[in-house]
Every structure is written in structure tokens, then in C-alpha cells.
């Protein structure tokens, strides 16, 4: 009986460890030459946050990482309707917590971003981790975001 209990305990510990160390969604950040700059675990998704260059108010684009290396834009929130801001999405338009919200439901294999000269351009996680894009590239520099299914080491 002790051997069976020990085996079951071992299997339970192994399964538990697999949850912590196994594949989980992550975001990889590359420079324009294709050099890997960071891998960021984002099991609950991530946000690209910036200040809109025309009306100078915050915009948050929420993404999730899906199987097959897909980045899906699931929600956009912004404070002001103006030039360059969307007004519709696959699931409509609403106001949530005082912010305009659309649900674009768009998929990308990669996202190319030029670092904005307007401060506040960042990748943000739900747990409030915050990575300034200027930490990886100069203003005007190109960054490429791609999905990864295995978290290596975050270097942000």
C-alpha cells in the first residue's frame, strides 16, 4: 500500500510540475534584423498601450496568444473618438468603464511596430508588468512581435 501511495504522490507532483514548467503562451520581441530581444510569458494575454499621436489620449489594444503562433486582437479601448480611431468591430461598439471599446477579433502571425516618439508606447500585462518599447529600440525603430508557446526567460 505504501508503494502505491508513493507512486500516486510522485505522479501528482510530476503533473503539478508540468503545469508550471510546460508550454504556456508567450510573446517574443525581435528587432528589425530578426534578433530576439525578449520572451515574455503572457498566459492571460498582453496589451499594446500607447498615446494616440493626434488626440494625445491613451489607447490599449488587448491581444491573446493562440495555438499555432497566432496573435489575436480581441479588444481595443480608448478615451476619445477622433481621427484614426475605430468605431466598429465584429462584436460591435460600446462604452465600458468610461472608455470607448471595440472588439475587432483580428488575427496576426506577427505585428510590426515602429516605436512612437510620443511617450507611453509599451507592452503591458494584466499583472501590471510594463515594458517600454524604447527599452528595446530607439524612437522610430522597428520591433516585431510574434507568438511563442513556450516561455523561456523574460528579458524585459
Q: Is residue 3 part of a domain?
A: no
According to the model, what pLDDT value does residue 136 have? 96
For every one of its 156 residues, what pLDDT tens digit does the chain have, with 9 covering 90 and above? 666 554 444 444 444 444 445 557 999 999 999 999 999 999 999 999 998 877 788 999 999 999 899 999 999 998 877 666 666 655 667 888 888 888 888 999 999 999 999 888 999 998 888 999 999 999 999 999 999 865 444 444
| C-alpha atoms less than 13 angstroms from C-alpha of 146 in its C-beta half-sphere | 13
Q: Is residue 128 part of a domain?
A: yes
Question: Which value, to the nearest 10 degrees, does the dihedral of the CA atoms of residues 10, 11, 15, 21 take?
Answer: 40
How much is the pTM? 0.77
In the chain, the number of structural domains is 1
Domain that holds residue 109: 24-148
Q: Quick one: which of 87, 88, 156 has its CA closest to 125?
A: 156
Helices (H), the chain: 2-21
According to the model, what pLDDT value does residue 84 have? 60
Q: Is residue 9 part of a domain?
A: no
Beta strands in the chain (DSSP E): 26-31, 36-41, 46-51, 58-66, 70-78, 93-96, 99-102, 106-108, 110-114, 122-124, 130-132, 142-148
Q: Is residue 2 part of a domain?
A: no
According to the model, what pLDDT value does residue 45 have? 94
Q: Is residue 15 part of a domain?
A: no
Three cell numbers, residue 32: 528589425
Amino acid at each position: 500500500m505504501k508503494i502505491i501511495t508513493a507512486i500516486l504522490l510522485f505522479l501528482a507532483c510530476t503533473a503539478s510540475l508540468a503545469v508550471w514548467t510546460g508550454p504556456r503562451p508567450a510573446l517574443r520581441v525581435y528587432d528589425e534584423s530578426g534578433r530576439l530581444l525578449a520572451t515574455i510569458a503572457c498566459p492571460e494575454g498582453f496589451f499594446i498601450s500607447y498615446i494616440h499621436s493626434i488626440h494625445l489620449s491613451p489607447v490599449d489594444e488587448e491581444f491573446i496568444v493562440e495555438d499555432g503562433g497566432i496573435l489575436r486582437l480581441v479588444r481595443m479601448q480608448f478615451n476619445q473618438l477622433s481621427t484614426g480611431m475605430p468605431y466598429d468591430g465584429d462584436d460591435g461598439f460600446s462604452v465600458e468603464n468610461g472608455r470607448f471599446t471595440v472588439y475587432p477579433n483580428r488575427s496576426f502571425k506577427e505585428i510590426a511596430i515602429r516605436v512612437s516618439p510620443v511617450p507611453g508606447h509599451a507592452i503591458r500585462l494584466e499583472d501590471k508588468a510594463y515594458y517600454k518599447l524604447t527599452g528595446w529600440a530607439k524612437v522610430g525603430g522597428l520591433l516585431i512581435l510574434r507568438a511563442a508557446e513556450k516561455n523561456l526567460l523574460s528579458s524585459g
